[in-house]
A and B are shown apart, each in its own frame.
Chain A
Amino acid sequence: VSALPLLAQVAAHGLPLLAGTLTTPERATSVSRPPDAATWMRLLRDVRRLRLSGLLQSAIADEVLAVTDEQRQAANELHLTACVSALTLERALLRLTDTLERAGIDVVVLKGTAAAHLLYPDPTVRMFGDNDLLFRAGQIDRALQVLADVGYDRPRAAPRPDYDRRFGKGATLIGPDGDELDVHRTLLFGSFGLRVDTDELFASTVTFRLGGQELRALGPDTGLLHACYHAALGDPMPRLGSVRDVAQRFALAQHDPARLQQLVDQWRAAPVVARAVQLCVDHLGVHIDDPVADAARRHVTMPHERRAIASYVGSNRSHAAKVVASLPYLDGVPAKTAFLRANLAPSTSFVRSRGGRPGLAWIRRGVRSLRSGTPRPTGSRR
């Protein structure tokens, strides 16, 4: 028994096989013998790294995965740690959303907590390691100020003063207790992010209750697209939890296929959806039966789309590669020029915060990486 099929089995465990949404061709349904020690250690390491402890414990409890008593105990301890971390993050989230809303700032919760409470029958199966909040472009500077006032530090400054509001995906902040908070203006940086209608993200939200508060999350259509972006473009080695979110959303079939297709077309996201759907086949062994998934599979990917995807997950991926691949997605020379200037000529404070020297050296560095882009080993961070 190798670790990869086991890990895939864990990641796919409990998918709601509603009629007509998913099929699972040729997949083993249970593992009847406990894995050997080496296989188990690899599995446990990957489960920890990918935050799949809830699914692992669920697979063990449902007797889909046979384990020894020691292995069961190790899985339980791992999940207990993950649960405590999730609850601590949720408490931080509640305090933050309360503070932000009192300041008149609209907040939408992305990914982790929202996915756990909205997509899964028991939130314990969907673990997460940070909080993600989406803000309106016009409020993001104010939101960052409010967050700074309550102790959230931004280790990396914005490249330019208007960058967060105009071009950036957002920022990563570190809270007073060391908790990580990702602040988003849009769903992702670069080509595909530029086409996302951020007003639509706020127009079609749903709510969920947590700790006595009502929180906003992305609606079924925008949420499904966000899951596809994250799974398909988030990491060169796709994170199984993100791929599972895609399969889970398609399986729940809460989206409106016609509206979703409209968004896919407007946001030019067909190659992203196609990649996300294929990842579900490759990594979870599930085939998605859905008109939007079918249309995405039929989409003929153009060279600039291939370059755009490669700028996120290809061997030459880099910030500079994303900047160049973004140009076809910007309308008009002024927008392209402003985007290039914001990304290739950052402010002095930004360059210094990254340990660089202000001036020509930074631009030269950017141009070098635009020309060649040093290949990176698969799996390294962007």
Chain B
Amino acid sequence: VSGWQRDPQALWRRCDDRIVLLAANRDDVLMLEGTGRLIWELLELPTPHDELVAALAEGFDRPQHEVDAEVTAFAAELRTAGALVAT
């Protein structure tokens, strides 16, 4: 995977400090809060994985390898749900 983008089929709304998401492969609604919401907002345009990780690592002042693992797991979950696609 070189990067990520929102699945165009996903339907979503901002609601207070959350993203309310109806992903393509799910009938139930997903909520993205905190870092999840931040990642969603960062993915307004297709973004290279490394760039996403670097932005979050810098923003949260965390080592890149830690952030990398978390972003990879999070993105994989949303990919399975039909909310993100790999680029």
Contact = CB atoms under 8 A, between A and B. Distances in A.
Nearest to A87: B22
A212 B16 contact: no
Given A83-B20, A87-B29, A124 B8 contact: no
B16 to A, nearest CB: 5
A122 interface: yes
Contacts of A211: 8-11, 24
B71 to A, nearest CB: 24
A338 interface: no
A124 B15 contact: yes
B14 interface: yes
Given A87-B20, A87-B22, A91-B22, A124 B13 contact: yes
A76 B16 contact: yes
Contacts of A90: 11, 22
Most chain B CB within 10 A, of A57, A124, A210, is at A124
Nearest to B20: A83
Contact of A79 (B11, B15, B24): B15
Query: Main SS of chain A's interface residues?
Result: helix
Contacts of A79: 15-16
B8 A83 contact: no
Interface in B36-72: none
B31 to A, nearest CB: 9
A209 B9 CA distance: 10
Give the interface residue-count category, chain A: 10 to 19
Contacts of B15: 57, 76, 79-80, 83, 124
Most chain B CB within 10 A, of A57, A79, A87, is at A87
A124 B14 CA distance: 6
B13 A83 contact: yes
B14 A122 contact: yes
Contacts of B9: 211-212
A84 interface: yes
B12 interface: yes
Interface in A55-87: 57, 61, 76, 79-80, 83-84, 86-87
A210 B9 CA distance: 7
Given A76-B16, A87-B21, A124-B15, 16 more contacts: A57-B15, A80-B18, A80-B20, A83-B13, A83-B20, A84-B29, A87-B13, A87-B29, A91-B22, A123-B13, A124-B14, A209-B8, A211-B24, A212-B7, A212-B8, A212-B9
Closest 10 CB pairs of A and B: A212-B8, A87-B22, A83-B13, A212-B9, A124-B13, A83-B20, A76-B16, A87-B11, A83-B15, A124-B14
Interface of B: 7-16, 18, 20-22, 24, 29
Interface of A: 57, 61, 76, 79-80, 83-84, 86-88, 90-91, 122-124, 209-212
5 contacts: A57-B16, A79-B15, A87-B12, A87-B29, A210-B11
